[in-house]
Amino acid sequence: MTTLVEKPAVSGTRNEPGGAFKAVLALTLFESRRLLTRIPVLLAFTVYIGWTVWRAGRAWGDYPALQDADRATQGAPMLVGLAVLLSVNQAALRSRRHGTERHFAVLVLPHWCRTVAHALSVAAAALVTAVCVAGQFGREAMRPGAIGQGSVAELLVGPLTVLLFGLAGLLVAGLVRSALVAPLLVVLFLFLFLFFSGLDYGGRWLLPAVEEATSNTLPSDLMGRPAAWHALYLAGLALLLGLVAVLVAGGRKPAVFAGAAGALALTLVGGVAQSAGDSPELVKARERATVHPEQVQSCVRRDGSTYCAFPEWGPRVGDWAAVVDRVRSLAGGSAHEQDVVVRQRVDARYGLSGDAALDPLKRPHEVTVGTQWGGNRVPEFSAAVAGVLIAGDEKAATSICDGRIVPLMWLAVGWESDPLDALRRVRLNDTVTGSDSVLQPTNGLYMTEAQTEVLRALLDLPRAEAGARVEDRWDELTAPKITAARAAGLLGLPAPEGEDKCLS
């Protein structure tokens, strides 16, 4: 029926060992380079990196808690993921759109191997995202004020999101041969994100990146985020999508079927485990840290004062002590030598979603410091220390509603390089005139218009002179029920014209 050739003409054979494998790798490099230079992907990476750099430059980010910083790497990669989804979908449909499918079908490498290369090119995009995430987190970890520890599983979420979205785009290209479907898929994903992010504990973990409603910072061991299970769920789901895409493309090999089954198992295990909720042990630990923090804290003494912190916050004692020393240095009378106990506190009972205000402490000379630091948290803590030095305890300090606010706020902001800016930052509405609330780690204070006027006049004096006047009249200035006008008189300042009436 056929005649075999005895001596063939010139032939360009390339029958190398592992040729298909090497070809897939070569194609992966080719497709990766193309994917990473697609305009949507370039644009997404530019926005992502730009946003990260801008965010890293903000001053109040100088004291990051790394258990929060890891989670902060998860949102922006979704943008990259959506761009990769669109671009991979387009690349996978390229042959069909431009009529090369019939031609390429007679080339050596089968269609499903091209799908494998597309899938691996998505992995390359995920790898670049991982580098960005590592850079973003590394920058935070390198800050001198960084405390706590990040979670590798949380850091993996960003790259896994890119992988998941990209492979979803690839699978859709195999199932529906239309370029219109991918943009619709992006819209669907955004809708699902809005829908699921509003669900309860279990449901929202079906999303790639799970944001928290508040910025409560907890010790690492009280976080209760099933980050490892979630990473397993995402990895399993991404792998499943990729392998199904290969199956759809014709790669119906036993290894691919087995891989898809394994990936499905990983997805289910991760998906179920991540939805389990908080364990009883975690609930107890949170209760203990909230109600009896002294049971889990260690304390150090500095210049007579005691600083009690959760274990991860040990390196921050120096920052707190510096504030205490500066506040105390401005005080007069016995307050100048008064030792305090700084107690770190957090309401961990509701996990990261809780943002309940802490109640003021009643124990003498014990002052609350929160789990966050830097920016506005510094003058807020400074005001709390000043309150305890003047009123004796935190509960009494937060009830002050008279002219004692003037020396209190002098102690709180007088030592700052820009006291007026510190005053603006510590007040609820960012004002430096009129009445406003003053924020503290526990309950706030209220400053009347008249008190604000007297304080502003005091701050207008040369620092040494203002300090001397406050120290000279310390006892009268810190006597209960003193009015703003009386305080102004004692300090040699003009009488205030504004209202001097506390909120009832």
In this complex, which beta carbon is closest to other proteins, that of residue 114 or of residue 316? Answer: 114
CB of 43 to other proteins, least distance (A): 16
Which among 92-100, 121-129, 391-399, 488-496 is the span making contact with other proteins, rule CB under 8 A?
92-100
In this complex, which beta carbon is closest to other proteins, that of residue 18 or of residue 462? Answer: 18
Tell me the C-alpha distance between 309 and 478, whole Å. 30
CB of 17 to other proteins, least distance (A): 11
CB of 91 to other proteins, least distance (A): 10
**Candidate residues 53, 58, 101, 468; the one interacting with other proteins per rule CB under 8 A:** 101
Which among 5-13, 168-176, 187-195, 396-404 is the span making contact with other proteins, rule CB under 8 A?
5-13
CB of 46 to other proteins, least distance (A): 20
In this complex, which beta carbon is closest to other proteins, that of residue 11 or of residue 429? Answer: 11
Task: Identify each DSSP E strand in 253-406 by its residue range.
Answer: 298-302, 305-309, 341-344, 366-369
Question: What is the residue-wise DSSP string for 88-137?
Answer: HHHHHTHHHHTT-HHHHTTSSS-HHHHHHHHHHHHHHHHHHHHHHHHHHH
Binders of other proteins among residues 10 to 39 (CB under 8 A) are 10-16, 19-20, 22-23, 25-27, 29-30
Which among 65-73, 100-108, 146-154, 324-332 is the span making contact with other proteins, rule CB under 8 A?
100-108
Q: Does residue 105 bind other proteins (CB under 8 A)? A: yes
CB of 37 to other proteins, least distance (A): 11
In this complex, which beta carbon is closest to other proteins, that of residue 15 or of residue 215? Answer: 15
CB of 16 to other proteins, least distance (A): 7
Tell me the C-alpha distance between 360 and 397, whole Å. 9
Burial (CB count within 10 angstroms: exposed 0-12, middle 13-18, buried 19+), residue 404 = buried
**Candidate residues 36, 62, 95, 179; the one interacting with other proteins per rule CB under 8 A:** 95
CB of 170 to other proteins, least distance (A): 17
In this complex, which beta carbon is closest to other proteins, that of residue 24 or of residue 340? Answer: 24
Binders of other proteins among residues 110 to 129 (CB under 8 A) are 114
- Closest by alpha carbon to 157, among 270, 264, 243? 270
67: left (phi over 0), alpha (psi -120 to 50) or beta: alpha
Neighbours of 352 (CB within 10 A): 22
Tell me the C-alpha distance between 35 and 125, whole Å. 8
CB of 182 to other proteins, least distance (A): 17
**Candidate residues 36, 109, 176, 228; the one interacting with other proteins per rule CB under 8 A:** 109
Question: What is the residue-wise DSSP string for 2-66?
Answer: ----SS---------TTHHHHHHHHHHHHHHHHHHTSHHHHHHHHHHHHHHHHHHT-GGGGS-BH
CB of 112 to other proteins, least distance (A): 13
- DSSP single-letter state for residue 427: B
In this complex, which beta carbon is closest to other proteins, that of residue 10 or of residue 59? Answer: 10
The answer to whether 313 and 344 have CB atoms below 8 angstroms apart is yes
H-helix segments, 249-294:
254-274, 280-291
CB of 117 to other proteins, least distance (A): 9
Q: Does residue 100 bind other proteins (CB under 8 A)? A: yes
Tell me the C-alpha distance between 192 and 359, whole Å. 38
Count of residues binding other proteins (CB under 8 A)? 40
Binders of other proteins among residues 156 to 185 (CB under 8 A) are none
Q: Which positions lie near other proteins, rule CB under 8 A?
A: 1-16, 19-20, 22-23, 25-27, 29-30, 94-95, 98-109, 114
